[in-house]
Chain A
Amino acid sequence: MTATTLPSPGPIDRSCRSPLFALFGGAAGWLALSSAFGLAAAMTFHNPALLAGCSVLTFGRAYPAWAHLFIYGFGVPTALGAGLWLLARLGRIKAMNPALITVGAKLWHVGVLVGLLGIVTGDSSGFEWLELPRYAAVILFLAFMLMTVWLFMTFSWRAEPRLYPSQWFVLAAVFWFIWIFSTAVFLLQMHPVRGVVQAAVAWWFAGNLLNVWLPLAGLAVTFYVLPKLSGKPLHSYYLALFIFVTVALFGSWTGMPVQAPLPAWMGIFSSTAAALMVVPALALGILVVKTSGGGDQPPCFGGVLCFAKFGAFMLILATLLAAVAACPVMARVTEFTWFTEGQVLLRLYGFFAMTLFAAVYHILPRISGREISPRRVRAHFWLAMPGSLLLALPLLAGGVRQGLRLADAAVPFQETARAAVLWVRISTLGETLIALGALVYLANVGWLILSHYRALLKREMTDALAWQPVEVKS
Chain B
Amino acid sequence: MKSGSLVFLTAFVALAFSWTGFVLVPQLQLGRLEAAKTVPAGDAYPVARSGQARQGAEVYRSLGCVYCHSRQIGQQGTTVEVTLTSVGTNAANVLSAIQKAAPHLAATASLASVPQVLGQVADTALADDAVTAIAEAGGEATVAILPDGPDIRRRWGRRRSVAQDYLYDPVVQPGIRRFGPDLTDAGATRASAEWQLLHLYAPKTVVPDSTMPGYPFLFVERKIGKTPAPDALPLSGTFAPPDGHEVVPTEEAQALVAYLLSLRADAPLYESPVTPPPAPATNGVAVATK
Contacts and interface: CB of A to CB of B under 8 A. Distances in A.
Contact of B14 (A192, A252, A340): A252
A194 interface: yes
Interface stretch (A53-61, A280-288, A427-435, A447-455): A53-61
A268 B169 CA distance: 26
A180 B16 CA distance: 11
Contacts of B164: 195
A369 to B, nearest CB: 31
A248 interface: yes
A194 B48 CA distance: 13
B149 to A, nearest CB: 8
A241 B178 CA distance: 39
Listed residue (B22, B153, B209) with the most chain A CB atoms within 10 angstroms of its CB: B22
Contact of B11 (A51, A167, A176, A414): A176
B211 A199 contact: no
Interface in B157-188: 160-174, 176-181
B171 A126 contact: yes
B83 to A, nearest CB: 22
Interface residues of B, number: 73
A155 B4 contact: yes
Contacts of A197: 26-27, 30-31
B284 interface: no
Interface in B187-230: 202-204, 207, 209-217
Interface in B65-79: 65-68, 70, 72, 74, 76
B178 A337 contact: yes
B66 A162 contact: no
Nearest to B75: A259
Given A171-B4, A259-B74, A406 B178 contact: yes
A340 B175 CA distance: 13
A200 B72 contact: no
A204 B3 CA distance: 29
Interface stretch (A41-49, A289-297, A466-474): A41-49
Interface in A248-269: 248-249, 252-253, 255-257, 259-263, 266, 269
A379 interface: no
Contacts of B30: 195-197, 200, 263
A296 B39 CA distance: 72
B15 A196 contact: no
Contact of A413 (B11, B18, B154): B154
Interface in A106-139: 122-128
A151 B166 CA distance: 41
B29 interface: yes
Nearest to A258: B74
Nearest to B218: A55
A52 B162 contact: no
Interface string B1-29: 11110011011101101110111001101
B211 A48 contact: yes
Max chain A Cβ within 10 angstroms of own Cβ: one of B18, B23, B176, B178: B18
A417 interface: yes
Given A176-B11, A183-B23, A252-B14, A64 B67 contact: yes
Given A52-B214, A195-B167, A336-B178, A179 B64 contact: no
A474 B167 CA distance: 80
A160 interface: no
B220 to A, nearest CB: 13
Given A176-B15, A261-B165, A340-B176, A122 B23 contact: no
B150 interface: yes
Given A122-B62, A255-B22, A248 B14 contact: yes
Contact of A244 (B10, B31, B169, B174): B10
A193 interface: yes
Interface in A321-341: 332, 335-338, 340-341
- Taking residues whose C-beta sits less than 8 angstroms from the other chain, chain A's interface range is 35 or more
A64 B64 contact: yes
Contact of A183 (B4, B17, B19): B19
A262 B10 contact: no
B34 to A, nearest CB: 10
A199 B14 contact: no
Contact of A156 (B4, B29, B67): B4
Contacts of B67: 59-60, 63-64
Interface string A334-352: 0111101100000000000
Nearest to A403: B178
Given A124-B64, A168-B7, A204 B172 contact: no
B10 A172 contact: yes
Contact of B213 (A52, A253, A259, A417): A52
B107 interface: no
B150 A49 contact: no
B61 interface: yes
A130 to B, nearest CB: 12
A59 B177 CA distance: 13
Interface string A198-216: 1111111000100000000
B112 interface: no
B33 interface: yes
Contacts of A193: 27, 31
Contacts of A244: 10
Interface string A402-419: 000011110001101100
A153 B46 CA distance: 52
Contact of B68 (A59, A123, A125): A59
Nearest to A216: B11
B63 interface: yes
A301 B50 CA distance: 62
16 contacts: A48-B213, A58-B215, A122-B63, A162-B2, A168-B7, A175-B11, A176-B15, A194-B31, A194-B167, A195-B164, A196-B166, A252-B17, A262-B26, A335-B176, A337-B177, A421-B211
Given A175-B8, A176-B15, A336-B70, 13 more contacts: A44-B213, A52-B216, A53-B216, A54-B217, A61-B63, A61-B64, A124-B64, A126-B171, A128-B176, A195-B167, A199-B174, A409-B153, A413-B154
Nearest 9 pairs of A and B residues by beta carbon: A60-B64, A409-B153, A122-B62, A252-B18, A259-B74, A248-B14, A126-B61, A336-B178, A198-B172
Interface of A: 44-45, 48-49, 51-55, 58-61, 63-64, 122-128, 155-156, 162-163, 167-168, 171-172, 175-176, 179-180, 183, 187, 192-204, 208, 241, 244-245, 248-249, 252-253, 255-257, 259-263, 266, 269, 332, 335-338, 340-341, 406-409, 413-414, 416-417, 421
